[in-house]
Structure 1
Amino acid sequence: MITEVTAVNFRQNLGDMLNQVQYRHDSIVINKDGKPVAALVDAELFARIRRMREHFEALSDRVAHAYDDVPAEQGMAEIEAAVAAERNR
């Protein structure tokens, strides 16, 4: 479950919210001035997010290196063509 709280409420109830995240594996979105500024998630989920981000960055690097010798205009044209083809599906 995802709970949204204000920063003031979060600060006042930190212990309870840590328990909620640790034992129930809930997530808490912390809002300030009505906008989300942070999230509290359990350590296992955070580790998964970190691994996914590392994999994404590695894949992005591989794609970037594959196009090192391709002029930017040609690369952008290929990307736009692929996006258009996918949208038409």
Structure 2
Amino acid sequence: MTKIAASDFRQQLADLGNRVSYGGERITVTRSGKPLFAVVPYEDAELLEALEDRMDLDLAKKALKRNDTVSWEKAKKELGL
């Protein structure tokens, strides 16, 4: 993964956007050498979302198997709704 300083990222945004969009490159933006965020192709972000959804679904199924549920009324009360 390519690393670039935040100050350089701002100056090169259009070029870096093209490299990510059309070249599939992944870029880590840093400040003082520490990673701040990553710029990835849209397809990578979609995949990440799908993986997170799958993990959430798996956790929900496990909770249902354990009968580890809370009534809607209790949930609303705990959340102050």
TM range (shorter): 0.7 to 0.9
User: Where does 1:25-44 land on structure 2 (aligned, <5 Å)?
Assistant: 25-44=24-43
Matches of 1:28 and 1:36 in 2, distance apart? Answer: 10
Question: Number of residue pairs matched?
Answer: 68
State the one-letter code of the partner of 1:53: E
Q: CA RMSD in A?
A: 1.3
State the one-letter code of the partner of 1:24: G
Matches of 1:58 and 1:34 in 2, distance apart? Answer: 36
Under a length normalisation based on structure 1, what TM-score does the superposition of the two structures give?
Answer: 0.69
Q: Could you say which residue in structure 2 is the equivalent of 1:66?
A: 65
2:8 pairs with 1:9? yes
Matches of 2:2 and 2:48 in 1, distance apart? Answer: 19
Matches of 2:64 and 2:6 in 1, distance apart? Answer: 42
Matches of 1:57 and 1:5 in 2, distance apart? Answer: 33
Under a length normalisation based on structure 2, what TM-score does the superposition of the two structures give?
Answer: 0.75
Matches of 2:44 and 2:24 in 1, distance apart? Answer: 9
Matches of 1:67 and 1:35 in 2, distance apart? Answer: 41
